[in-house]
Amino acid sequence: MNSPVQRTFRTDYPETRPASLIKRLMAMLYDFMLILAIWVVTGFVAVALNNGEAVEGPLFNSALFCITFLFFGFFWTRLGQTLGMQAWRLRVQTLDGYRLSWSRALMRFMLAIISFAPLGLGYLWVLFSDEKLAWHDKLSETCIVQLPKTPRDD
């Protein structure tokens, strides 16, 4: 059962529709640039903590992976939108219109990696799906919706 915190999305935009693949990809590009910047800062900090020596290996890679998930998890569970999604007026939510929990955000994040692995076929599935869901959307019971323009968007 969803907690009251997760119910905040249900009625705020009743006229949402599935997001297009192009808008999803544009939001992903925007978020990738932000993640890249976060990775660079993380690398600088790691090098500084390592007395100026290059940092590599499984511990550093695991840290980057965790930081990446925390970025997406924070935005998905709080606002339903990363910064890239905000720019394109997209929101991730459960299939029944509620906010994601941390466990569902983790499931979506991990499954998105699997969707991307076979040359992005899991993402391209949006073009063939009647519900406009990618593989990770379907398996995590989430969806990306296009939010309508509001008067302040003009």
Instruction: Dump pLDDT digits (tens) for 97-108.
Output: 999 999 999 999
- Per-domain boundaries in the chain: 16-149
Average pLDDT, the chain: 91
- Label residue 16 by pLDDT band (50, 70, 90): confident
- Label residue 10 by pLDDT band (50, 70, 90): low
Instruction: Dump pLDDT digits (tens) for 39-68.
Output: 999 999 999 999 999 999 999 999 999 999
Distance of CA 79 to the CA centre of its chain: 11
The pairing of strands 90-94 and 142-146 is antiparallel
Question: Edge-to-edge strands of the sheet including 142-146?
Answer: 17-18, 142-146, 90-94
Give Rg (Cα) of the chain. 17
